[in-house]
Amino acid sequence: MASFKITGDQRLKGEIIPQGAKNEALQILCAVMLTPEVVTIHNIPDIRDVNQLIHLLGDLGVKIKRLTPSSIQFQADDIHLDYLETEEYRVKAAALRGSVMLLGPMLARFRKGRIPRPGGDKIGRRKMDTHFLGFEKLGATFSYDREDGGFYKVDADNLKGTFMLLDEASVTGTANILMAAVMAEGETTIYNAACEPYLQQLAKMLNRMGAKITGIASNLLRIEGVTALKGTEHTILPDMIEIGSFIGLAAMTQSEITIKDCRIAELGIIPDVFKRLGIQMEFRNDDIFIPAQEHYRIENYLDGSTLSVADAPWPGFTPDLLSIVLVTAIQAQGTVLIHQKMFESRLFFVDKLIEMGAQIILCDPHRATVIGHNRETQLRGIRMTSPDIRAGVALLIAAMSAKGVSIIDNIEQIDRGYQYIDTRLNAIGAEIIRL
C-alpha cells in the first residue's frame, strides 16, 4: 500500500494540462473489440484502471502497438474466446469497473460475453440490472452464478433491434447496450439513455466505424444495425473530473492556476457550479484561468435560501465531482448542502475532514452541510486513508491547504484515475512525496 506525505499550506502557480478522461477511455478501449480492423486511440491517460484494461485486451488476443506514450493502435482480429473461461480472466477483469463494458462488444461480435462481478469504487450498491435487462431485450439470455464467485454470462444466437426504456440512465449500462445494438438486426431505440460526454464520444466513434446512431447527446438513441464495423481513429477528451478537481484545488489553496485546453464547451454545468461557490475563473480561449483568491463566497438561491449542490444524470452535475465541491466549500464564506443522490457511501470520508477541523454536518449518508471557514481557521494535517478515487483527491486537496504534514494511505485509489498527480502538482509548487 503506497502513501502520500503532503506538506500543506503551499501556494501553487502555473499551468497544468488535464489528462485524457478515464471514464471515456474505458468505453473507447472496450469498443476496439467491435472490429477486426485497426483502431488508433489518442490521449489515453496513463492510469491504473486504463492500463489494467489495456492488459486485459492484450490477454484476450488484441494486438497492441504503442505509437507514443498516449497513442496506441489496437487490432482485435484474433480474439481468444477460451480466455474468458479462465481464472486469470476472472481475477483481472474483476479489478476494475470499466471491464464490464467488454460484454456489449463481445455479444455484438461473438454472440457471447463473460464478466466477473466488476470492481471499482466501493461507494454503495452498484447494480448492473440495466445492462442485462437491455441485453435481454436485444434477445440475449443472461445467467448469473452467485455460487461461482459471481460470474455474469450472456449468450445470443441472434441480436434483434427493439425499443427499450432503460430503468435508469446508467452510464456504463448505456455504453454496453449501445455497443451490442450497433450490430443487432434492424432498429433499436434506447430511451432514458445516459448522455454524458463519454457516451457522446463513444457514439461518434462508433459512427466513424460505420455504425448508424442518431440522437447523440440526447436520452433517445436510435440505432440502425449494421453487419460489421471498420477501423477508425479517436482522440479522448480532457478529463472533466480532473478539470473540476483542479478548479477546487486552486480555490482551496489560494493558487493561481491555468488549466490548459479544457474543451470548455464539453464541460456542461461544471464551471457554473464552481462559480456558484464564489470561485472566479476566466475562460482564455480554451484555457481556464483561476486567480489566487483569498475569499470566495457561496451564493444563496434568489429567495435567500441555502444553496445545495446535487448530482444528476447528464446534463446535470456529475456525482464524481461532489466530493471535490464539498472539500472546496470548507474555506468558502457561507454554507452549502451537498446532496449525493446516486451513491450511498460516498460521503463518509467527511469524518476525516472534520478531524482536520472542517465544519461539516453529515445529515445522513446522502447529505452533508458544509459551513465555510472563510479562511478564519486553517485545517490541520493528519494521517488518513483514501476510501475511493474522488474522496482520495478531496483529501489530497484538504491536505494541501492544511497547516502541517498529512499522510494519505491507500493512494492506489487515487492512481486509478489521476495520472502522475504528485509529479504534476509538485511541478507547480506542491510538496507531495510518494512513500
Ligand X SMILES: CC(=O)N[C@H]1[C@@H](OP(=O)(O)OP(=O)(O)OC[C@H]2O[C@@H](n3ccc(=O)[nH]c3=O)[C@H](O)[C@@H]2O)O[C@H](CO)[C@@H](O)[C@@H]1O
Q: Which residues sit in the known binding site for UDP-N-acetyl-alpha-D-glucosamine?
A: 97, 320, 342
- Is residue 154 helix, strand or coil? strand
**DSSP-assigned letters across all residues of 18-60:** PPBPHHHHHHHHHHGGG-SSEEEEES----HHHHHHHHHHHHT
Taking the least distance from each CB to ligand X, the nearer of 131 and 257 is: 131
- Residue 424 near ligand PEP by CB under 6 A: no
- Residue 97 near ligand PEP by CB under 6 A: yes
**CB of 184 within 8 A of CB of 156?**
no
* Partner whose binding site includes residue 389, from ligand X, ligand PEP, none (CB under 5 to 8 Å by kind): ligand PEP
Across the beta sheet with 220-224, what order do the strands follow? 163-165, 187-191, 220-224, 212-214
- 121 given a catalytic annotation: yes
179: Cα separation from own chain's centroid:
19
Taking the least distance from each CB to ligand PEP, the nearer of 199 and 379 is: 199
Residues at the annotated binding site for phosphoenolpyruvate? 22-23
- Residue 417 near ligand PEP by CB under 6 A: yes
- Residue 311 near ligand PEP by CB under 6 A: no
Residues at the annotated binding site? 22-23, 97, 320, 342
Q: How far is the CB of 325 from ligand X (least distance, A)?
A: 14
The label of the residue with cell 449525493 reads: 340
Catalytic hit among 46, 77, 82, 121: 121
From start to end of 87-225, where are the E strands?
112-116, 141-145, 151-155, 163-165, 187-191, 212-214, 220-224
> Where on the chain is the footprint of ligand X (CB under 6 A)?
23, 26, 97-98, 125-127, 168-173, 194, 313, 318-320, 342-343
Q: How far is the CB of 47 from ligand X (least distance, A)?
A: 12
Q: Which of the residues 116 through 145 are near ligand PEP (CB under 6 A)? A: 120-121
Query: Which residue in the set 16, 389, 391, 425 belongs to the binding site for ligand PEP (CB under 6 A)?
Result: 389
- Residue 244 near ligand PEP by CB under 6 A: no
Residues in contact with ligand PEP, counted by CB under 6 A, come to a total of: 10
Taking the least distance from each CB to ligand PEP, the nearer of 48 and 352 is: 48
Residues in CB range of 57: below 8 A, 6 or more apart: 29, 32, 33, 64, 74, 76
* Partner whose binding site includes residue 173, from ligand X, ligand PEP, none (CB under 5 to 8 Å by kind): ligand X
- Residue 325 near ligand PEP by CB under 6 A: no
Q: How far is the CB of 398 from ligand PEP (least distance, A)?
A: 17
**DSSP-assigned letters across all residues of 243-273:** HHHHHHHHHHTT-EEEE----GGGSTTHHHH
Q: Which of the residues 14 through 43 are near ligand PEP (CB under 6 A)? A: 22-23
Q: Strand pairing of 307-310 and 287-290? A: unpaired
End-to-end CA distance of the chain: 9
Which stretches within 182-262 are classed as H helix? 197-208, 240-252
Residues in CB range of 313: below 8 A, 6 or more apart: 169, 194, 195, 196
Show which residues are catalytic: 121
The footprint of ligand PEP (CB under 6 A) covers 22-23, 49, 97, 120-121, 320, 389-390, 417
